[in-house]
Amino acid sequence: ETSNFIKKVGYNPKTVPFVPISGFHGDNMLAASANCPWYKGWEKETKAGKSTGKTLLEAIDSIEPPKRPVDKPLRLPLQDVYKIGGIGTVPVGRIETGVIKPGMVVTFAPSNVTTEVKSVEMHHEQLTEGVPGDNVGFNVKNVSVKEIRRGNVAGDSKNDPPLAAASFDAQVIVLNHPGQVGAGYAPVLDC
């Protein structure tokens, strides 16, 4: 049943390990359990080759880290903007592509505000650079919290800065939607 669902949403079930576990009893979490004599272990195939195991921990350890798109232009959608006393304006977001560094000049779209990055932090630690996947906060010069807001996108002003779009095309997959989709249907799509 789970294999069919995985296939339906576009994944190959052979690349996904299936591990029967009991979090309450700890079965197959860290060590193979005697409570599942029928379970022979999991196997998955990826571009890197085949891997096998019996436990959830082994399945997690077999996950290949994604290739980070550091060579693309910086795109950092803002999740929030804070005003911190003694520091100033601190936009916060997850880096999708590119790299952000202190001293870099960034542009926010669609507000078209350009400023310099004073510092970059993740989990209250200073970074020399932030890479894709990092949730960072960065201090910017001479920008008030009223000028930029959640939903703006930060980009390197010297390398393909982000621009506002009048429209865009998207492919949307609706998972587990109650009822039928018909005339007059008005879904809410969070971008």
Residue 176 has pLDDT above 70, yes or no: no
> Phi and psi dihedrals of 18, rounded to 5?
-105, 120
To the nearest whole percent, how much of the chain has pLDDT over 70? 98
Shared domain for 21 and 55, answered yes or no, is yes
Residue 191 has pLDDT above 70, yes or no: no
Classify 61 as helix, strand or coil. helix
Specify the higher pLDDT residue, 10 or 153.
Answer: 153
105-117 burial, b at 16+ Cβ within 10 Å, e below that, comes to ebbbbeeebebeb
The parent domain of residue 135 ranges over 76-156
Shared domain for 36 and 83, answered yes or no, is no
Residue 125 has pLDDT above 80, yes or no: yes
Average pLDDT of the residues in 124-149: 93
Look at 12-21, 99-108, 119-128, 153-162 and tell me which has the smallest mean pLDDT.
12-21
Instruction: Residue 84: give its domain's CATH number.
Output: 2.40.30.10
Average pLDDT, the chain: 90
Domain count, the chain: 2
Shared domain for 82 and 108, answered yes or no, is yes
For 97, how many CA atoms within 13 A lie in the half-sphere containing its CB?
13
Neighbours of 86 (CB within 10 A): 4
Q: Which amino acid is at 40?
A: K
Shared domain for 95 and 152, answered yes or no, is yes
